[in-house]
Amino acid sequence: MSAETNLANDDLDALEALESEAKEFNKDAEIDRILKAFRLDSYAVLDLQPGVPESDIKKTYRVKSLLIHPDKTSNPQAPEAFDRLKKAQTELLDEKARGRLDEAIADARMLLIRENKWTVDSPELKTEEFAKQWREKAKYVLIDNEQRRRRQVKAQMQEEGREQKKVDEEVEARKRKREHEQDWESTREQRIGSWREFQKGGEKKKKKKAKPLGLLDTQANIIAANYGAYSTTSYGAQGGADAGGFVPGYGSQGGSQDSPGKSYSKDTLRPVTIKQLIDAIPTHSEAEFKIDGSEVTQITFVGQIHTVTPQATNTTFKIDDGTGIIDVKQWIDVDQDPDTAKPLPQEGQYMRVYGRLKAFNDKRSVGAHVMRPVTDFNEISMHLLEATAVHLFFTRGPAYALKGVKNEDSGEGMFVGGNGAAGGAVGDMAAQQLPRNTSTGARRVFALLQAAPQNNEGLHVHNIAAQLSMPTNEVFKAGDELLGNGFIYTTVDDETWAVLEN
């Protein structure tokens, strides 16, 4: 009896040993599976299918964590496998993280369908082969997303580093400023004592510098004659520095009509933008540039100085007006007294430039006659408006000009409506009644309605569009503007208008 009992106990011990080995084998197998799973796919780490409910995620994690817990097994890789399992569960329980994972897996499925030219109803999508390909494609998409995320993080860290460097530089600059102020304050008594000693000894008289003679004087006189001082201009009054509007060296008013020289009447001062100067067309090497098909000689524009480059004979400024950047060269008057010379314009300062457009080796620049600082920033807006008005005059003709309606103004000025002549019968009628902020389209429609024979019916939208060669939608916009301001009214229908007489 005792022998049988001992045999039964030995069997139980052997069975327990086998069960223990089996459990340890299962633990090792599960640890190996987790470590081989694609770590960016939390579903693969937990051995779950996408879309499972949250309860299944928690249940699976609880079972597997108990199985591979480092305290329950002697496998040296158990801690790493347990960490991956914990991270996978945390990601799947995070709504945003799980949403990004589900989106990537769905993208992989659609990419696979497009590459094979299948449809969502294709039978191939139900096969085991498709599921295998889907898992591989999901790996590709997840890796691509991770690389993109890391690049973004790297760029963000670099930007934060630059910002921190900027902050550190500002702190360092403030520190140096404080140290300089402290040093300046600590040496105050020394400076005062030095000044008192200087006063006791008397001031030394300054010797007046002799002016250079010979060729230097000749060159200075030529530069002064051609370009004038800083605050004056050399164009006008046949080359003098007083008022006028012409440039020396281009013919003579008192000369013969057969003279080949250029007459002063062709020299004009035109407001422009730098983009217009860059796009200006030279007809040939000896001719002036043309802007909007019209020859220009003297130009003026307003811009901000980007850089200042002093040279031996001139100072070069890079000036930007928002439409482009161009070099502006101002010649130096070597004969000018330094004590009376005006200060050199500085970077960041807004300047009004008068000068002439030049080209050398296909590079354009402006030879400045006058550069003066802008003290009222309204001048910038005013200049741009003036340049726009002149551009429209040369490209579209005088204001209020209508197709089929003759403009009676015979003036040659840049602006129409204020240059002596009537400005056209239609233009006058529109200008007398419409406010300044009325759009061009509304002015044209209103002028046509006034010029048309007056009757109770008025003109239809399509007739207006045909006569003005305007798109119908633009006519409707103009009509809405005039109707809203009470200048016209609808007659037989909403698309037929007539002028509302005062």
> Domain holding 374: CATH number?
2.40.50.140
More confident residue, 313 or 50: 50
Q: Do the Cβ atoms of 358 and 367 come closer than 8 Å?
A: yes
- Is the confidence at residue 122, as pLDDT, over 60? yes
Six-digit token string for 85: 């399992």
Indicate whether 347 and 452 sit together in one domain. Answer: no
Please report the pLDDT score of residue 485 as a whole number: 82
Q: 353: pLDDT confidence band, cut at 50, 70 and 90?
A: very high
Q: 263: pLDDT confidence band, cut at 50, 70 and 90?
A: very low
Residue 432 lies in a domain: no
Indicate whether 273 and 389 sit together in one domain. Answer: yes
Report the C-alpha gap between 261 and 250 in whole angstroms: 6
Indicate whether 292 and 374 sit together in one domain. Answer: yes
pTM above 0.95, yes or no: no
Residue 64 lies in a domain: no
Q: How far, in Å, are 228, 241, 268, 308, 343 from residue 333 at the CA level?
A: 8, 14, 25, 17, 13
Closest Cα partner for 468 from 491, 492, 452, 455? 452
Indicate whether 318 and 382 sit together in one domain. Answer: yes
Give the residue numbers spanning the domain of 319: 269-335+343-396
Indicate whether 288 and 387 sit together in one domain. Answer: yes
What contacts 451, CB < 8 A, 6 or more positions away? 402, 405, 425, 426, 429
Q: Which of 208-217, 241-250, 356-365, 416-425 has the highest mean pLDDT?
A: 356-365
Please report the pLDDT score of residue 302 as a whole number: 95
Residue 445 lies in a domain: yes
Q: Do the Cβ atoms of 324 and 275 come closer than 8 Å?
A: yes
More confident residue, 256 or 317: 317
Indicate whether 305 and 383 sit together in one domain. Answer: yes
Six-digit token string for 83: 């960490």
More confident residue, 220 or 71: 71
Residue 159 lies in a domain: no
Indicate whether 371 and 312 sit together in one domain. Answer: yes
- For range 428-440, the mean pLDDT: 66
Report the C-alpha gap between 394 and 389 in whole angstroms: 9
Please report the pLDDT score of residue 234 as a whole number: 38
Residue 279 lies in a domain: yes
Indicate whether 295 and 357 sit together in one domain. Answer: yes
> Domain holding 490: CATH number?
1.10.10.10
Which residue in the block uniquely carries the two structure tokens 């158990």?
78
Which residue in the block uniquely carries the two structure tokens 């809203």?
484
pLDDT in tens, 203-218: 554 455 554 444 444 4
- Is the confidence at residue 90, as pLDDT, over 90? yes
- For range 230-239, the mean pLDDT: 37
Indicate whether 300 and 384 sit together in one domain. Answer: yes
Residue 317 lies in a domain: yes
Indicate whether 377 and 464 sit together in one domain. Answer: no
Q: Percent of the chain beyond pLDDT 70?
A: 71
Which residue in the block uniquely carries the two structure tokens 């080796």?
361
Q: 3: pLDDT confidence band, cut at 50, 70 and 90?
A: low
Kindly report the average pLDDT of the chain as a whole number: 76
- For range 468-487, the mean pLDDT: 88
Residue 303 lies in a domain: yes
Indicate whether 386 and 304 sit together in one domain. Answer: yes
Indicate whether 350 and 466 sit together in one domain. Answer: no
Which amino acid belongs to residue 252?
A: S
Residue 217 lies in a domain: no
| Domain total in the chain | 2
